[in-house]
């Protein structure tokens, strides 16, 4: 009897695995739906496609979508590094495509741009800036735009603000979400907050785990620590989302993205791990933009959730107050942690429509006073 029971369990497990594989396969055609009008016809001038472009000698994937190719163009720089965010747009719709032609680029080593030939220690911040510029020039030429908008979230904000600083002539404006400033100090502040909460709750298990780490220098922010920090902050409401979804729901977002093939989904998982062992990631913890980026030449919009401890809200606001820019705006999202674009999408889109797109900065407006929105 025990052998019959064991055989039944093994059979059930195998059958479940087979069903899951078939289900994921059915969710992975690698195709994208067009925009349709009320009659069911493809919307005139709309764009909805998956493309692979050679960027600095490597094929990289991107999803380009917009209801009209006459709209402004926006390049979205995802976080991670190595975590493309298009996969979350079904569960957290933003409708950016109603106002822009949006390029959702999977950065080198992540998702559609993953390659097993990429080795740890080979992707630098400089490489990623160069890639960003090449992608920018590709979509500028493709849609005949002199300048485009640049939006970066988390790691993407670190990459974005460096790109904006070095190549301002390519961009209309910069939108930084969960803006990285001095990430080593941010980690220290986050560590103190996590430990304080654990101590107030007498959570001995979490206290023991945290006290095993000492954040002294960029190299002390290890992969193990980042994983621990993410888990604890998520539980405390200060991580990716203030009211975090289950890990299964996040995983399902990747699995159910029909624009990805099975290979792309494998690339998403492998790219997330690969990015943690790259110099570009180390640069986040070794750079203090309070010192290195004190002036920008384009309008900047910084959007930050007040509960964000993954990337310090406090430091982001302090940086905004000292950085010099022709126009600058800061927005506090009162019900968000690290992802205000997902947590408060209606307010996020109001800012995009009413502020970002309402201001077309030109050199003749250099004498405008700085505008601050709290």
User: What pLDDT score was predicted for residue 19?
Assistant: 57
> If residue 148 lies in a helix (H) or strand (E), which one and from where to where?
strand 148-153
Catalytic residues: 154, 308, 338
What pLDDT digit, counting tens, does each position of 60-70 carry?
999 999 999 99
Q: What are the beta bridge partners of residue 36?
A: 42
Q: What is each CA distance from 366 to 302, 319, 321, in whole angstroms?
A: 20, 21, 18
Q: Which residue has the tokens 């709209």?
A: 71
Instruction: Tell me which residue of 300, 369, 373, 298 sits closest to 331, measured CA to CA.
Output: 373
Q: Which residue has the tokens 């039944």?
A: 8
Tokens of 90: 């079904």
Q: CATH number of 47-183+248-365: 3.30.70.580, 3.40.50.1820, 3.20.20.70, 3.40.50.280?
A: 3.40.50.1820
What order do you get walking across the sheet with 47-55 strand by strand? 47-55, 58-66, 101-105, 73-77, 148-153, 171-177, 300-305, 328-333
137 CB-contact burial (10 Å; exposed 0-12 / middle 13-18 / buried 19+): middle
Instruction: Tell me which residue of 108, 125, 119 sits closest to 53, measured CA to CA.
Output: 108
Contact 336, 242 (CB under 8 A): yes
What pLDDT digit, counting tens, does each position of 150-200 carry?
999 999 999 999 999 999 999 999 999 999 999 999 999 999 999 999 999
Q: What is each CA distance from 294 to 107, 118, 165, 301, in whole angstroms?
A: 26, 33, 9, 15
User: What pLDDT score was predicted for residue 366?
Assistant: 40
Q: What percent of the chain has pLDDT over 90?
A: 76
Low-confidence ranges of the chain (pLDDT < 70): 1-20, 22, 360-374
* Domain extents in the chain: 1-30, 47-183+248-365
User: What pLDDT score was predicted for residue 276?
Assistant: 82
Tokens of 156: 């993407």
Radius of gyration from C-alpha coordinates of the chain: 22
User: What pLDDT score was predicted for residue 223?
Assistant: 87
The CA dihedral of 248, 338, 114, 76, to the nearest 10 degrees, is: 130
Task: Compute the distance between CA of residue 341 and CA of residue 304 in angstroms, rounded to an integer.
Answer: 9
Q: What are the beta bridge partners of residue 82?
A: none
DSSP 295: B
Tokens of 82: 């190595």
């Amino acid at each position: 009897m025990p052998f019959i029971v064991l055989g039944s369990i093994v059979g059930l497990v195998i059958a479940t695995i087979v069903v899951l594989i078939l289900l994921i396969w059915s969710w992975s055609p690698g195709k994208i739906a067009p925009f349709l009008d009320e009659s069911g016809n493809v919307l005139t001038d709309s764009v909805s496609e998956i493309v692979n472009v050679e960027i600095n000698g490597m094929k990289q994937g991107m999803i380009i979508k917009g209801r009209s190719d006459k709209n402004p163009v926006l390049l979205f720089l995802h976080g991670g590094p190595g975590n493309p965010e298009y996969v979350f747009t079904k569960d957290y719709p933003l409708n950016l495509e109603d106002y822009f032609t949006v390029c959702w680029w999977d950065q080198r080593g992540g998702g559609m741009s993953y390659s097993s030939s990429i080795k740890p220690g080979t992707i630098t911040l400089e490489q990623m800036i160069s890639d960003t510029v090449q992608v920018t020039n590709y979509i500028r030429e493709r849609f005949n735009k002199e300048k485009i908008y640049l939006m970066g979230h988390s790691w993407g904000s670190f990459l974005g603000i460096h790109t904006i600083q070095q190549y301002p002539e390519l961009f209309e404006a910069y939108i930084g979400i969960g803006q990285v400033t001095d990430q080593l100090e941010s980690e220290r502040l986050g560590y103190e907050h996590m430990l304080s909460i654990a101590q107030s709750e007498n959570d001995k298990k979490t206290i023991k785990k945290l006290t095993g780490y000492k954040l002294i220098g960029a190299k002390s922010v290890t992969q193990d620590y980042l994983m621990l920090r993410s888990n604890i902050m998520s539980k405390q409401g200060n991580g990716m989302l203030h009211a975090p979804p289950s890990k299964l729901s996040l995983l399902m977002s990747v699995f159910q993205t029909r624009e990805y093939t099975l290979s792309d989904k494998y690339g998403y998982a492998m790219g997330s791990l690969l990015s943690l062992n790259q110099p570009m990631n180390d640069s986040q913890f070794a750079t203090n933009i309070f010192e290195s980026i004190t002036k920008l030449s384009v309008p900047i919009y910084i959007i930050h959730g007040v509960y964000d401890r993954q990337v310090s809200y406090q430091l982001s606001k302090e940086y905004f107050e000292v950085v010099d820019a022709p126009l600058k705006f800061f927005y506090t999202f009162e019900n968000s942690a690290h992802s205000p674009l997902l947590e408060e999408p209606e307010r996020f889109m109001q800012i995009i429509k009413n502020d970002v797109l309402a201001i077309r900065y030109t050199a003749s407006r250099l004498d405008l006073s700085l505008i601050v929105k709290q």
